[in-house]
Structure 1
Amino acid sequence: MSAGVLLLAAGKGHRFGSDKRLALCGGRPMLQVVTEQIRRAQLPLLVCLKPDDNLCEQLLNGLGVEYCYCPEARHGIGHTLAQGIGRTPGWEATLIALADMPWISSDTWREIADASGAERIVAPVHAGQRGHPVAFGKHFYPQLEGLSGDEGAREVLRRNQAALHLVSSDDPGVLRDVDRPKDLA
């Protein structure tokens, strides 16, 4: 099974007040922390950036991480996701990841990838709540490529509940994201 990670890092982050992807988390930029966790899991990674995202581009170049620009990112996460899925290099499944979730462990990334399949949707569950990342098999790529605006993958998930496979996780990081600077404390 060939699975990879599509890291969505093209959002605006209005509530944070500055570029949260570059905010320090444990002394390193949050985007770096997330990419390092994914790479520790030994998974292929493609990061989606907004156009002219020079600081994040420099950071990713320094880390040797592959990225792509999503020209329509300003229109919402649906556009970014659709464009990113269209650029994945033939993976059987893609873990959709959010750049503001630095506490997901490398073991969790690996567990979700290992449970994925071409016709499955896989998500972790911690303390009774579904979390991230969510893996979509290639069977669902056409639906993901049809997303637009602020419509994220949740709608694809809703339409395909029968394909959803939940993986029990002891990782609280699957539920924790960063919306405001205080969330990094």
Structure 2
Amino acid sequence: MTDKTHSAGILLLAAGNGLRFTAAGGKGNKLLAPYADASGQLRPLLALTLAQAAATGLPLHLVTRPQTEEIMALARQFAATVSVLASGGSGDSIAAGVQATANWRGWLIVPGDMAWLTTADYLQVAAALVDETSQARLMWQDIPGHPVGFGSAYFAALSALQGDQGARQLLSPQRLQRLPGHAGVIKDADLPRP
């Protein structure tokens, strides 16, 4: 059993506005849009992401916007802790989530719409965080994917992120472990289902 107070955890970013999704004709909150699970049953997109993340046994924290009761309820269903803020972008969301989980020994950062990540994907990145200065991310055909993992040495830098500047600027070509992934590590739901 994983010691949840001294392990890396999964930080799910669910505080975006979904502007590309709605601009492309999507209706409502992208994270609540129905998508088929492995058995073909339609479930909210975020529920698919949460199910794979929760199955790892790693600590799970979700950052979302105010007045998103359905999203907060889904997070609780999967035993995720929650931070709420009117985020100005992924930098704000990451900073809030990292500050709320200061006891973790690392963070696996992933947008909430990455429902095609598997439990094994999360565990592969977590296993690569062997010390406090580790960085790791999954790749598919040389395309950077998610999750992106950071060891605990990046607490201050992650906590200082702002606006729409995500954690990409903190990645070091010398430190970053590029791990083999599959097409799902780069697939998100910025566009409505065809």
Structure 2 length-normalised TM: 0.86
Letter in 2 for 1:93: G
State the distance in 1 between where 2:98 and 2:59 align: 14
State the distance in 2 between where 1:63 and 1:112 align: 20
Query: Which structure 2 residue ranges, 5 or more long, are not aligned?
Result: 1-5, 23-27, 37-41
**Of residues 98, 103, 114 in structure 1, which corresponds to 2:127?**
114
Following superposition, the deviation at residue 24 of structure 1 comes to: 0.9
Letter in 2 for 1:112: V
1:3 aligns with 2:14: no
Percent identity between the aligned chains?
Answer: 32
Letter in 2 for 1:128: D
State the distance in 1 between where 2:78 and 2:97 align: 20
1:65 aligns with 2:80: yes
State the distance in 2 between where 1:119 and 1:37 align: 26
Following superposition, the deviation at residue 53 of structure 1 comes to: 1.5
Question: 1:59-82 deviations in whole A, cap 9, x for unaligned?
Answer: 22334332121x241x21111111
Equivalent residue for 2:39?
none
State the distance in 2 between where 1:57 and 1:72 align: 14
State the distance in 2 between where 1:156 and 1:88 align: 19
Query: Which structure 1 residue ranges, 5 or more long, are not aligned?
Result: none
Q: How does 1:1-185 map to 2 (within 5 A)?
A: 2-17=7-22, 18-26=28-36, 27-69=42-84, 71-73=85-87, 75-116=88-129, 117-157=131-171, 160-169=172-181, 171-182=182-193, 185=194
Following superposition, the deviation at residue 7 of structure 1 comes to: 0.4
- Structure with the higher fraction of residues in helix conformation: 1
Partner SS state of residue 8, structure 1 = strand
Following superposition, the deviation at residue 128 of structure 1 comes to: 2.0
Between the two proteins, the alignment pairs up a number of residues equal to 178
Structure 1 length-normalised TM: 0.90
Which stretch of structure 1 is more off in the superposition, 131-140 or 89-98? 89-98
- Is contact 2:15-2:86 (8 Å) kept? no
Partner SS state of residue 132, structure 1 = strand
Which stretch of structure 1 is more off in the superposition, 21-30 or 60-69? 60-69
Following superposition, the deviation at residue 34 of structure 1 comes to: 0.4
Partner SS state of residue 181, structure 1 = coil
Partner SS state of residue 100, structure 2 = coil
Question: 1:97-137 deviations in whole A, cap 9, x for unaligned?
Answer: 11111001111111111111311110112222221100011
- Is contact 2:61-2:82 (8 Å) kept? yes
CA RMSD across the alignment: 1.5
Moved over 6 A (4+): none
